[in-house]
Structure 1
Amino acid sequence: MTEPVAYWHIPQIENEEIFVDFNPSENSNFEDIPLYTSEDLHPRMKMTKKQYNRLMWDKENTDLFQCLDYFHEHDGNSKFGALTEDLRGDLTPEDIARAWLDDETIEIVPDMKWFVRSKKRDDEGDFEFISGIETPDAWGYSKNHNGVNDPRACAYAFDTKEEAELWLNPLTEAVLLPVGDE
């Protein structure tokens, strides 16, 4: 929890005035009630790198209303029979507008996906990741094998834990890992 930014000091004895200060009272005759935290004053917008990049592009090339419209249009819902990319995610129009006005309030969070991997490492210390669902015996390794440095580049990513759990067996587990360039 973040520390309070200001305190309301309520006297515990008569003939004392109520006052607000930035620090807790050193006098035991006052009850200190936290008023708000810096997080309350400047809430952080959690965005993926892709959302941030789009917001910054819109900020340089369009206006706020076109930016809001783009995020609204790319909400993962079907448009004319085709699904759109869910760029908006959990962001509200107010979140987007706040981030537009003050990009210091943005916190980049990695885009996370579910993967199926072996529970144990092999002799070289690598996990095996399922790399395709068309052929259940397609596996990739967690280190540099066959020119692949990052298993997420060849591993099959699932959007939900439930989807990943459909491919589990007693020797594998579902794990949530960041994807992309994070």
Structure 2
Amino acid sequence: MSEEMKPVAWLTGDLLSSDCHEAEMQGREYQTKPVPLYTKEQLQPRMKMTQEEFYEFQKLVEQEYDLYSAISEIGDTSLCPNLYDRLFGSVDNNKSKQNEFAVLWANFEEFEPQKTIEIIAEKKWFVRSKKTDEKVIYWYLKMTEHFFFHEYIKEIATRFDTKEQADEWTNPLTEAVLLPVGDE
């Protein structure tokens, strides 16, 4: 279990504890089981963003903008296309995404960005064999200009932006799968 998901406080009877072992000892004493209350992630949620969004965010931080100037820079120019798409690109959830950005801007720690930002791997659609071969390796579709073939290495396989695009290249032995791009 990751540190973010481990409980940081327990309730045993009417006693509050921040130490798991102490809570277990109290539980034995009062013959009750300690109840986990909340996790570190719940106390200090981190904004999930792609590496490209983080690079754009970092440029804005380095400019020492205030929140208004940062939003204006994102909205008025093409310097931050990834952040623009995140904050203004879709009609759904624009306000909540902008509020989330404002909270991040206020709480961001420049020298410890991992406290407030979680970098998520970019994901793309791949066409992959449904079963592994005898070496327990999947085969991936690799298309070239004149033909296509199967490839062991996901990193050089053909990537698709949508499931529908990948589905066009599947057959009964393959499937479209959403996977992280790169070494993830």
**Deviation for aligned residue 1:49:** 0.7
Structure 1 segments, 4+ long, off by >6 Å, are none
- Are the structure 2 counterparts of residues 35 and 118 from structure 1 closer, same or farther at C-alpha, using a change threshold of 3 Å? closer
Distance 2:183 2:7 in 1: 35
Distance 2:66 2:150 in 1: 44
Q: Tell me if the contact between 2:155 and 2:182 (Cα under 8 Å) persists in the aligned partners.
A: no
1:18-167 equivalences under 5 Å are 18-23=14-19, 24=23, 25-26=26-27, 27-28=29-30, 32-61=34-63, 62-69=65-72, 70=74, 73-75=84-86, 77=89, 92-100=97-105, 101-102=108-109, 103=113, 104-118=115-129, 127-131=139-143, 137-139=147-149, 141-143=151-153, 150-152=155-157, 155=158, 157-167=159-169
1:165-180 equivalences under 5 Å are 165-179=167-181
- Are the structure 2 counterparts of residues 111 and 30 from structure 1 closer, same or farther at C-alpha, using a change threshold of 3 Å? same
- Are the structure 2 counterparts of residues 52 and 68 from structure 1 closer, same or farther at C-alpha, using a change threshold of 3 Å? same
Name the SS for the 2:175 alignment partner.
strand
Equivalent residue pairs, number: 154
- Are the structure 2 counterparts of residues 99 and 21 from structure 1 closer, same or farther at C-alpha, using a change threshold of 3 Å? same
Distance 2:12 2:66 in 1: 45
Select the residue among 8, 25, 32 that pairs with 1:5. 8
| Greater strand share, structure number | 1
| Greater helix share, structure number | 2
Name the SS for the 1:159 alignment partner.
coil
The letter of the residue matching 1:141 is E
Q: Deviations over 1:100-119 (max 9, x none)?
A: 32422222111000022455
Name the SS for the 2:160 alignment partner.
coil
Q: Tell me if the contact between 2:142 and 2:149 (Cα under 8 Å) persists in the aligned partners.
A: yes
Q: Sequence identity, in percent?
A: 36
Q: TM-score, normalised by structure 1?
A: 0.61
Distance 2:6 2:155 in 1: 39
Distance 2:156 2:47 in 1: 29
Identify unmatched segments of 5+ residues in structure 2. Answer: 75-81
Which protein shows a greater Rg?
1
Aligned to 1:81: none
Q: Tell me if the contact between 1:129 and 1:151 (Cα under 8 Å) persists in the aligned partners.
A: no
Distance 1:107 1:40 in 2: 14
**Cα RMSD over matched residues?**
3.9
